[in-house]
Structure 1
């Protein structure tokens, strides 16, 4: 888990997101830092599934930025710019989703607790959304089978 501390100055934080992480961050009228899907992709998973997927990515030596949102009990995996919006989202049955073009993704923001980096960006690198979706589906199905005792 990331242990870095965000700068307390909003403009410095936005500058880091833009220049060091390659995220076109914007500040809303309410003072929150956001990015819109299209500049990046985003896959939202329930917390339990998100943790399992993050662990599997780490086990495979893969990395993509991950935000933990305590308010919604979800994890958001930032991915490469999406190539298309799916007509049918295979994650839907697992209470997860790929965010559509234009959706606003809240980033960790100084002065607003509740969103933290689990895996902080280390530059502009992000995994393709298909990689995260495939692992999420595999882990969600395994969790479902385990919950009902199917082997």
Structure 2
């Protein structure tokens, strides 16, 4: 497969993310990978072993990006509506840190799945612009940590 065709597929995927999923996606260097900046879309990152029970606690779970790190450990990034300042409180930061989770800081880039990238994929491909509230995700993390 030629590079231009792959670039077209990445551009098509990026357009899908923008128009169908409502994500402020952009192609890095014009051909991929695809990213979004945290801001209009929030993101909470956690290990998959935490993400599974947290997602199960959400009444309406939203899009989840699954990434494999260098040690092949799976990390989940749950996309949310914008993260408001009250969630950047020290007590919430400490609770999330103890759970090995973090709110992706405003302005930081979040990698989105790209064609042929096996280390970054959707748990379930989003088909619309729905994303849960970050408050709901943080509440689910807190409930899992304290209720088991």
- TM-score class normalised by the smaller sequence: 0.7 to 0.9
Residue aligning to 2:101: 96
Cα distance in 2 for partners of 1:142, 1:42 equals: 24
Aligned equivalent of 2:113, options 82, 100, 108: 108
Displacement, 1:28?
A: 1.3
What is the alpha-carbon distance in structure 2 between the residues aligned to residue 138 and residue 24 of structure 1? 31
Q: Normalized against structure 2, the TM-score is what?
A: 0.82
The match for 1:43 is 44
Q: TM-score, normalised by structure 1?
A: 0.80
Size of the aligned set, in residue pairs, is 133
- Structure 1 residue runs without a partner (length 5+): 1-7, 144-151
Instruction: Map 1:1-151 to 2 at 5 A.
Output: 9-29=9-29, 31-57=32-58, 60=59, 62-71=60-69, 73-84=74-85, 86-88=88-90, 89=93, 90-143=95-148
Bigger mean CA offset, 99-108 vs 109-118: 109-118
Give yes or no for contact 1:49–1:140 (8 Å, CA) kept in 2: no
Give the Å deviation of 1:10. 0.8
Q: Is the 8 A contact 1:44 1:96 kept in 2?
A: yes
Structure 2: tracts of 5 or more residues without a match: 1-7
Task: Tell me how far 1:95 sits from its aligned partner.
Answer: 0.9
What per-residue deviation string (whole Å, max 9, x for no partner) do you get for residues 76-123 of structure 1?
A: 100001222604213111111011100110011112211111132221
